[in-house]
Chain A
Amino acid sequence: MMPVKLKDILELPECRTLVSAAPDREVTKIFCCDLLSIAMSKAPAGCVWVTVMGNRNTLAVASLADAACIVLAEGVSLDEGTLAKAGEEGIAVLSTELPVFDIALEIHEAGGL
C-alpha cells in the first residue's frame, strides 16, 4: 500500500489548515488522546494526533513526541503565538468542527492509516 503523506491529511475537506508543514512527510498512525502525559508516552513518532486540548502544552507534547500533525477537533483552535511556533517546528495544525471519533474515522478512510 502507498505510504500516507501529510498532504493527504492536509487536503481533507472537513479540515481547515491552520499551519502547513512538509507535505511529503510520511504519517504513520492516528492517535487520539487529550491527557498530555498519556499522549507524551504513547503517541507514535510521525502520528496524526487528534485532540480537543488546544494550548501551548499541546504543541510542546507534539514536538517532543515527534508528531507530524495536530488535528484539533470540536472547533478547538490555538492562539497565534502557538501556531507560529508550530510553523517553526514543522508541525502541521488542522482544525475541524467534527468530534474526535468522526475526524479520526475520516482520516482512516482517506488514508488507510
Chain B
Amino acid sequence: MGEPLIYTYDIDGEDFTRAGEASSSVKNRLKMLGVDSAAIRKTAIAMYEGEINMVIHADGGTITVIISDDAITMVLADRGPGIPDIEKAMQEGYSTARPEVRSLGFGAGMGLPNMKRFTDEMKIDTVIGQGTTITMKVYLHSDGL
C-alpha cells in the first residue's frame, strides 16, 4: 500500500446519539480497503468502546486512526478527568458510569477489558485532571491490504 492513511475524528462529548459514528466510519473505510474481516471486527469493537468512554467519562476528544501495511493504530486522546487507578479500571465489572448512562445500556465495566482483548497492543497514558490517551494497535497480516 505504501504511505499510511491517517484519519482524524473529533468526538463530541455531549452527544450520546452520535457516539459510535467515528467507529462506523472507520469500519466502512477498512471494508473498502479490503482489510480482512477479523481485523475489521477487532478494530471496530475496540474503537467503539474507546469512543463511547470518551463521551461518557471524558467529555469527548480526538481519535486518530493510522492504517499502514502492518497495523491499524488508534490513538484516542481526551481532556477528561483522567483514570486514577488503571488496574482497577481494567477489571471486568468495574464501572463509575452514572445512572442515566447505565439506563442506556452502558456500565457493564467491560469496555476497557474488551479494548485489551480485541487489540494486539494497548497503552494507557493518563494524568489526573488533564486527560487520558489510549493507544491501541491491531496487527495486519502481510496479505491484509
Contact = CB atoms under 8 A, between A and B. Distances in A.
B108 A64 contact: no
Nearest to A59: B20
B24 A60 contact: yes
B17 A64 contact: no
Interface residues of A, number: 21
Interface string B98-117: 00000011111111001001
A62 B52 CA distance: 15
B45 interface: yes
Contacts, number: 73
Nearest to B47: A64
A51 B105 CA distance: 10
A34 B107 CA distance: 11
B114 A41 contact: yes
A61 interface: yes
A107 interface: no
A65 B17 CA distance: 18
Interface string A31-62: 00011111011000100000101011110110
29 contacts: A35-B106, A35-B110, A36-B104, A36-B105, A37-B52, A37-B109, A38-B108, A40-B45, A40-B49, A41-B45, A45-B41, A51-B105, A56-B16, A56-B17, A56-B18, A57-B19, A57-B104, A57-B105, A58-B105, A60-B20, A60-B21, A60-B23, A60-B24, A61-B20, A64-B20, A64-B23, A64-B44, A64-B48, A66-B41
Interface of A: 34-38, 40-41, 45, 51, 53, 55-58, 60-61, 63-66, 81
Interface of B: 16-21, 23-24, 27, 41, 44-45, 48-49, 52, 104-111, 114, 117-118
